[in-house]
Copies of this chain bind each other. A is one copy, B any other.
Amino acid sequence: MSISQKRLAETLGVSVATVSRVLNGKENVSPETRARVESLLRDSQYSPDLLARSLKTRRTHTIGILVPDITEVFFGAVIKSAVRFLETAGYDTLLCDSDENIRRERAYLDSLAGKRVEGILIASLGGECDDVRGTFGKTIGCGIPIVQIDNYVTTDCGAVLIENRRAGAMGIRHLYERGCRNIAVIAGSTREYTGRERLAGCREEAAKLGLELRVREGDFKERSGYDAMRSLLGEQPRPDAVFIHSSKMSYGAVAALRDAGLRYPDDLLVLTFDIRDVYGTCQPTLSSVVQPEAKIGALAAENLLAALDGEPARTVFLEPELLLRESC
């Protein structure tokens, strides 16, 4: 238990109002009393009760950030960027990891609302549309602005994300230009927006180029990437390129490739997603479609703060980038 203003006031023989004034740096307090209060403030372990303060001022200066997996490198970068931006703007952050669990996502959404955050940045797991509308609906109904990142599940609030179809198309086009005509895709879950869109982009581009696409669907995690690649390698003819739609699935897929005794880019080309791997830990180095994480985080935060000022939150689509290394 920390001491309260009331107690401070009692021991000092002044009123709580005076203590409060000193704490908030108000002008109308005499230098002597101010000095006395500040002196006591230093050695008595006073810690202002932010809950009570927020209750009174009706402001928390707090933004919630909710992602499916905090250990995903992409999310880590986005979060750090957003948190720095918000910190500069004087906002505190509440970080939540739903662990890819839609129930937990909802629980966190309720919890954040209960904590009276002033806005939320969310990479939702997004189910069916009406379902989602229901989930976000309650939060928005409480007057809490939301900005989506990564996953775009509803038009009811703003979003900052890449043009995922373009990312898919970009990958297929590149592999085609490298001479591949027998391309396989390991897609993320099509129950999620990013999974669907990236795959749709691939299909569109393939259709334009007159290509057949072999598709496997995973869940964005290592294991599903491993299994999908294994399954693809069991087919004849073997694909001449594989485009994998998440970083973790890519690592799994590369392991499956190696376990099958195959090598990239010799036996087939490999194109990944969200892998920068600056230090070339994975050899040969992996080419990848990457997102501007820092820009996404900062822009989403900026967008959200604008929404707090009443502006309708915008939806911004950024350009994905093709990071070419050795794998294709």
Contact surface of A with B, Cβ cutoff 8 Å = 1-2, 45, 47-52, 54-55, 60, 70-71, 73, 76-77, 79-80, 83, 92, 94-97, 99, 110-111, 113-116, 138, 141-143, 222, 226, 251-252, 254-255, 258, 278-283
Contact = CB atoms under 8 A, between A and B. Distances in A.
Given A49-B55, A52-B55, A80-B97, A2 B113 contact: yes
8 contacts: A45-B141, A47-B138, A51-B52, A70-B70, A71-B71, A95-B96, A255-B279, A282-B283
B47 A114 contact: yes
Contacts of A97: 79-80, 83, 95
Nearest to A107: B87
Contacts of A48: 114
Given A222-B279, A251-B281, A283-B283, A47 B113 contact: yes
Q: How many chain copies does the complex carry?
A: 2
Nearest to A222: B279
Contacts of A83: 97
A301 to B, nearest CB: 15
Interface centre among A47, A49, A96, A99 (most CB of B within 10 A): A47
A256 to B, nearest CB: 9
Contacts of A143: 1-2
A78 to B, nearest CB: 11
B282 A114 contact: no
A282 B115 CA distance: 43
Contacts of A254: 279, 281
A121 to B, nearest CB: 14
- 6 A-B pairs with the lowest CB-CB distances in the bound complex, closest first: A71-B76, A50-B114, A95-B95, A255-B279, A45-B141, A2-B142
Given A2-B142, A279-B251, A279-B255, A55 B47 contact: no
A49 B95 contact: no
Nearest to A278: B222
A217 B71 CA distance: 27
Nearest to A60: B51
Given A47-B110, A76-B71, A94 B94 contact: yes
A142 B45 contact: yes
Contacts of A51: 51-52, 54-55, 60, 115-116
A285 to B, nearest CB: 10
A142 B70 CA distance: 30
Contacts of A52: 51, 55
A31 to B, nearest CB: 26
A110 B83 CA distance: 17
A101 B320 CA distance: 31
A92 B111 contact: yes
A94 B117 CA distance: 13
A52 B254 CA distance: 52
Given A97-B80, A258-B280, A281-B255, A49 B114 contact: yes
A258 B278 contact: no
